[in-house]
């Protein structure tokens, strides 16, 4: 199979870049995949294709730019030129831009592929029905929120033109099926990027690192984390370093610079900036706890799966998709009230002052991460592409699993 993957890809800073990297990394090792056509956004630096293991041929087509009005035509042209046997879209609603028209045009691509007769799967990481538009940085205006929801409904219908729409949380399956009367929704979990050997769960000498990782400024806020650690420092002698790893959200440029200035008086706080793939194991390996200082959620969490892969204890807000994900995939952690700094301080302190508890949480999360490695997720997609081809030829409807239990049964 010659597989086209439409995604942002390192060193791009566009959303879902890391997930695109790991899709390619694991698809290239699938026996049935003879070539990957990587249809990605343009970057000044070369694409990161320095994989250790040998795999299939990878052809790079830089065919789109964030917020370009011509992405629809350029990506469509790249697909026509390369003639793939199947296409996988790695999507969320602001994948191709944070302006309405470029974002909308990009999401019409699955429909064009379907019209070409190419087996098409769209991986939809979030659905607008589950996004808090105010907290996620879209708009506070109630009228505009209704407009966004209308636009989101229309764009979802474009994506639903795919042969299969894959979602990572079972709740999304029922929401889409009920609202859109769709029958082509498959549950395919997010998967864990890496499954390294089980860690020793020991910490480096020095302060205990309390780390948050991601793109900050919209619904991911570092203020509550910094202030929670200050509360802990005021009431106990624990030596703590705050590590803010990552960059600004595209919707809030300059946010982290503002935070550096605002909290310049706070000791032992480190802003790492962009974290390259090769530095991710070090980041998680040195952290005592990974914190999710979120006020909202917009889909499955790549950071949670990474934390599990490296045996991290985690502190999570008790809300939305994160709560569902923990229940479905077997992760665990300390929960906190996202609007209460003291609640977060209590949760962090419980982990960093009780080493046995920290290790227990880390072991549980490592086990959860190992149960759904990215290699298995890639294999699922390959099987679905084969099923699409057969169903088109034989004229039968695909039977798609809706729950994690059904998924495990189908893929034993």
Q: Identical fold at 2-191+373-410 and 208-371?
A: yes
Dist. CA 104–CA 305, nearest whole Å: 29
Fold adopted by 2-191+373-410: Rossmann fold (3.40.50)
**What is the structure's pLDDT at 169?**
84
Structure confidence at residue 30 (pLDDT): 95
What per-residue confidence (pLDDT) applies to 377?
A: 92
**Would you kindly state where each structural domain of the chain is located, as residue ranges?**
2-191+373-410, 208-371
- Say if CB 173 and CB 187 are below 8 A apart: yes
How many helices (H) and strands (E) would you count in the chain? 15, 13
pLDDT of residue 131: 58
Domain 208-371 fold: Rossmann fold (3.40.50)
pTM of this structure: 0.75
Listed in sequence order, the residues at least 6 apart from 34 whose beta carbon sits closer than 8 Å to its beta carbon are 1, 2, 56, 57
Element (H, E) at 307: helix 302-309
Give the per-residue pLDDT at 298: 61
How far is Cα 253 from Cα 272, in angstroms, rounded to an integer? 16
pLDDT, residue 95, reads 86
* Tens-digit pLDDT profile for residues 286-343: 999 999 998 876 666 778 889 999 999 999 998 767 777 777 788 899 999 998 999 9
Alpha carbons 210 and 307: distance in angstroms, whole number: 13
If you ran DSSP here, which 8-state letter would residue 198 be given? P
pLDDT of residue 210: 98
Rounded to whole angstroms, how far apart are CA atoms 282 and 125? 27
H/E stretch holding 233:
helix 223-235
Residues of the chain where predicted confidence (pLDDT) is lower than 50: 133, 411-412
Biggest alpha carbon–alpha carbon distance for the chain: 69
Sheet of strand 269-273, all strands in order from the earlier edge strand to the far edge: 269-273, 240-248, 208-216, 287-291, 314-317, 334-336
Q: Are 12 and 40 in contact (CB under 8 A)?
A: yes
């Amino acid at each position: 199979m010659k597989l086209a993957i439409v995604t942002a890809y390192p060193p791009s800073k566009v959303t879902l870049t890391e997930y695109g990297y790991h899709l390619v990394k694991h698809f290239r090792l699938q026996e049935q995949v003879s070539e990957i056509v990587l249809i990605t956004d343009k970057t000044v630096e070369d694409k990161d294709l320095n994989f250790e293991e040998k795999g299939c041929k990878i052809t790079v087509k830089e065919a789109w730019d964030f917020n370009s009005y011509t992405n629809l035509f350029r990506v469509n042209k790249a697909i026509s030129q390369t003639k793939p046997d199947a296409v996988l879209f790695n999507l969320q609603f602001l994948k191709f831009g944070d302006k309405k028209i470029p974002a909308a045009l990009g999401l019409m691509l699955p429909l064009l592929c379907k019209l070409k007769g190419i087996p098409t799967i769209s991986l939809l990481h979030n659905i607008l029905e589950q996004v808090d538009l105010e907290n996620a940085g879209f708009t506070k205006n109630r009228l505009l929120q209704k407009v966004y929801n209308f636009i989101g409904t229309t764009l979802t219908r474009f994506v639903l033109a795919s042969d299969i729409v894959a979602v990572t949380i079972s709740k999304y399956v029922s929401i889409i099926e009920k609202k859109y009367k769709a029958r082509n929704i498959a549950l395919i979990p997010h998967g864990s990027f890496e499954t390294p050997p089980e860690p020793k769960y020991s910490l480096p000498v020095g302060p205990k690192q309390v780390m948050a990782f991601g793109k900050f400024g919209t619904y991911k806020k570092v203020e509550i984390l910094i202030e929670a650690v200050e509360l802990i420092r005021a009431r106990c002698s624990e030596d703590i370093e705050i590590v803010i790893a990552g960059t600004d959200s595209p919707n809030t440029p300059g946010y982290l610079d503002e935070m550096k200035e605002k909290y310049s008086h706070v000791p032992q706080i480190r802003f790492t900036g962009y974290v390259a793939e090769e530095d991710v194991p070090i980041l998680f390996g040195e952290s005592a706890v990974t914190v999710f200082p979120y006020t909202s959620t917009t889909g499955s969490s790549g950071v949670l799966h990474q934390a599990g892969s490296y045996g991290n204890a985690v502190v999570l807000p008790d809300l939305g998709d994160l709560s569902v994900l923990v229940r479905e995939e077997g992760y665990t952690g300390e929960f906190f009230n996202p609007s209460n700094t003291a609640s977060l301080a209590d949760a962090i302190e419980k982990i960093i002052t009780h080493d046995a508890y920290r290790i227990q949480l880390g072991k549980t999360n490592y086990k959860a991460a190992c149960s759904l490695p990215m290699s298995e997720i890639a294999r699922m997609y390959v099987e679905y592409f084969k099923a699409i081809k057969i169903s088109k030829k034989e004229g039968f409807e695909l039977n798609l699993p809706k729950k994690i239990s059904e998924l495990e049964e189908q893929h034993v």
